[in-house]
Amino acid sequence: MGKIIVLPETLTHQIAAGEVVERPASIVKELLENALDAGATEISVELERGGCQTIRVTDNGEGIEPEDVPLAFARHATSKIAVFEDLYRVRSFGFRGEALPSIASISRVEMVTRRVASPVGTRVIIEGGAIQEQTDAGCPAGTSIRVSRIFEPVPVRRKFLKGDMTEQGYCLDWITRLALAQPGVRLRVSAGGRTLLNVPAAKDLAERIALTLGRDFRGQLVPAAGERDGAALKGFVSRPEFTRSSTAQIYLYVNGRFVKDYLLNHAVMTACRRIIEPRRYPAVILFLSVPPGDVDVNVHPTKMEVRFRNPRGIYALIVETLSGAIGAGSPTAEQRTGSSDAGRSAYAARVEEALKRYRISSGPEKLFFGRPAGLNKETPIAPPQPIFRESQPESEQPKEGSRFIDLVYLGQVAGTYLVFAGGEGMVLVDQHAAHERILFEGLKRRAAETQGGAPGQRLLLPEVVSLSPRDLSFLTESIPLLEEAGMEVEAFGGDSVVVKAIPAFLSDADVRTLIGDILAGCMEGDRNLPLTERREKIFTALACRAAVKANRPLSGPEVESLCRDLDALPRAATCPHGRPLTVAISIGELEKLFKRR
């Protein structure tokens, strides 16, 4: 026999399924999209063990004809396209004919379906990609699909799944994304007999956002709408004071389809960067409508990435629309960004950067946004000031060895890095990372020493915070850990919690923003970590929120206090996120830089 063989059909199906079905959430996504394509107005989703054991999706859509049921599980069989040109006119979700065959090849699928005009429905069972049984059945109009024994034919794939709660979170993420784009559809989600989400049909997008993401969003979003070269944009963007510490609440849609696209994300951040503080991100829900021929949705098996015929025009539409919505052209914003000519030059540079990345980049790094640090040339450099010469009380003397308090403070660079001179060279300290480590260690120490946790600051008026189902579940499970940090949080019924106290060192913090930062700091697999590690994630999020920020000038006494606190730490090599606190440059290294060696 030759070395080249034709793979068995079962194996090719399982290989193809690997592109479409990554985890249980992929199954939920594909089944929901099929239900929406069928015109469903009511959809229910039932999960067992976070979707790792069983997934059932039931809809009241148009159903499937009995003779079409076997074809629905045949690869590359679809009712959405007939010729190649249809790919550039498609407006439906599923058109490749890959979803159901891929799901059936790695699980057991039982489907019951009936069209409104049919007196009887059809029941079919598929295992390992092959039909085992097909019979008539009595059932309501619509389709119900039950998927079980997930990844049983490919057990190696099961080893890569996370915990049940994490996988359930992924499923809820996809359900939320689709719920936002379909205001007229009623969605109900349950897990283990408990209702996680019950969203009725809404009159408009604003109402659906409040019902899906929480009522707190209602007053924090401003509408945005614009048109350019046949493309239309509409949606909402958060006010400048309502920000998050991650991009988790940026929802972007192209012709009703949720996408993760570098160009679109970069355009959003370009528009918002002028008025929100660094390393903070807006909440954005945007719907971009373009003629089907101007966008290619067939560049990825999961249809999560798209390509535009006119990317420059799309970029400009998003930036201009969002800038107008959140007031980026106001005098206040102009003062922050400098002269209008400088702003236009920076904007042009960002457009070129985005277009270059759009053409050549791929992979998860597309969603990364960095901000290069720069020096403010207008700020004069202060002369050296040996301000640290006071000795600590004997009871507070730090451990033996080199101490920050013994260094000579020279000043700040870029309002972020503290510069010191010592006998062996120069030391740079990241003020945010250093303060973050100090607060983190203080939280851990007080939680361990004090029964009941760190001291908290009671609120004059308790704050009620509305959350999404996934966030609500995690936060209520973490109430004992929050108490250790000095927070008092209680379930308030429905989709809300009430916050009665916050950590004393965060007494001036906005409660809603604080809760958002905690949730953003405990994402993905973090929510399924052991108790000790989850505690550290929460403490890290609180310390990061309270720590002195970059680009903030510090006075001499503030720097001295920071140094004393650093000296008192048992170890101070990195911040809780793992970034270094200090960088030391020896005299020898300096001499090499200046060619003295």
List of domains in the chain: 9-199 (3.30.565.10), 219-367 (3.30.230.10), 374-597 (3.30.1370.100)
How many residues belong to the chain?
597
| Maximum alpha-carbon separation in the chain | 93
Please count the other Cβ atoms lying within 10 Å of the Cβ belonging to residue 221.
Answer: 23
- Partners of residue 109 on adjacent β-strands: 126, 147
At 102, list the tokens.
């891929």
CA 119 and chain centroid, separation: 46
Output 226 or 353, whichever has higher pLDDT: 226
pLDDT higher at 1 or 491: 491
Whether the CB-CB separation of 18 and 162 falls below 8 Å is answered with: no
Using DSSP bridges, classify how beta strands 250-254 and 284-289 pair: parallel, antiparallel or unpaired: parallel
Query: Residue 311 corresponds to which amino acid?
Result: P
Q: pLDDT over 90 for what percent of the chain?
A: 14
For residue 451, pLDDT beyond 50: yes
What stretch of H or E contains 126? strand 121-127
Mean pLDDT, all residues of the chain: 78
- Strands 582-586 and 425-430, by their bridges, are antiparallel
What is the average pLDDT across 579-596? 85
Digit-coded pLDDT (tens) for 187-197: 999 988 888 88
How distant, in Å, are the alpha carbons of 100, 104, 186, 251 from that of 283? Answer: 34, 37, 23, 8
On whether the CB atoms of residues 361 and 381 are closer than 8 A, the answer is no
When mean pLDDT is compared across 81-85, 321-325, 513-517, the lowest value belongs to: 81-85
DSSP 29-41: HHHHHHHHHTT-S
107 and 149 Cβ atoms separated by less than 8 Å: yes
pLDDT at residue 374, rounded to an integer = 36
| Cα four-point dihedral sign 203, 205, 206, 207 | positive
What does the pLDDT look like over 255-294, one tens digit per residue?
Answer: 888 988 888 888 888 888 767 777 778 889 999 999 888 8
- For the cut 60, the answer to whether the pLDDT of residue 2 exceeds it is yes
- Alpha-carbon distance 210 to 190, whole Å? 20
Backbone phi, then psi, for 578, in 5-degree steps?
100, 0
Residue 392 binned pLDDT confidence (cut-offs 50, 70, 90): very low
Buried b / exposed e across 340-367, counting CB within 10 Å, b at 16+? eeebeeebeebbeebeeebeeeeeeebe
Per-residue pLDDT, averaged over 422-432, amounts to 84
User: Residue 14: what pLDDT?
Assistant: 66
pLDDT(352) > 80: no
3-state secondary structure of 417: strand
3-state secondary structure of 211: helix
The tokens for 465 are: 């915070």
Assign 554 to helix, strand or coil.
coil
Residue pLDDT, tens place only, 87-127:
666 666 765 557 788 888 888 999 999 998 898 999 999 98
Average pLDDT estimate for 419-433: 85
Per the CB < 8 A criterion, the answer to whether 424 and 586 are in contact is yes
Higher model confidence: residue 330 or residue 453? 453
Check whether 449 has a pLDDT greater than 80. Answer: no
- Over range 468-490, report the average pLDDT: 81
pLDDT at 348: 58
Residue 432 has pLDDT above 50, yes or no: yes
| Of 84, 102, 94, nearest in space to 21 by CA | 102
Strand 281-282 with 425-430, pairing = unpaired
Token couple for 289: 């409508």
- What strands, in cross-sheet order, belong to the sheet with 194-199? 130-137, 121-127, 108-114, 142-148, 54-59, 42-48, 186-191, 194-199
Least confident of 55-59, 177-181, 271-275, 416-420: 271-275
How would you write 428-481 as a 3-class SS string? Answer: EEEHHHHHHHHHHHHHHHHHHHCCCCCCEEEEEEEEEEECCHHHHHHHHHCHHH
- Percent of the chain surpassing pLDDT 70: 78
Residue 315 and residue 354 in contact, taking contact as beta carbons nearer than 8 Å: yes
How many Cα atoms within 13 Å fall on the side-chain side of residue 588?
0
pLDDT value, residue 541: 84
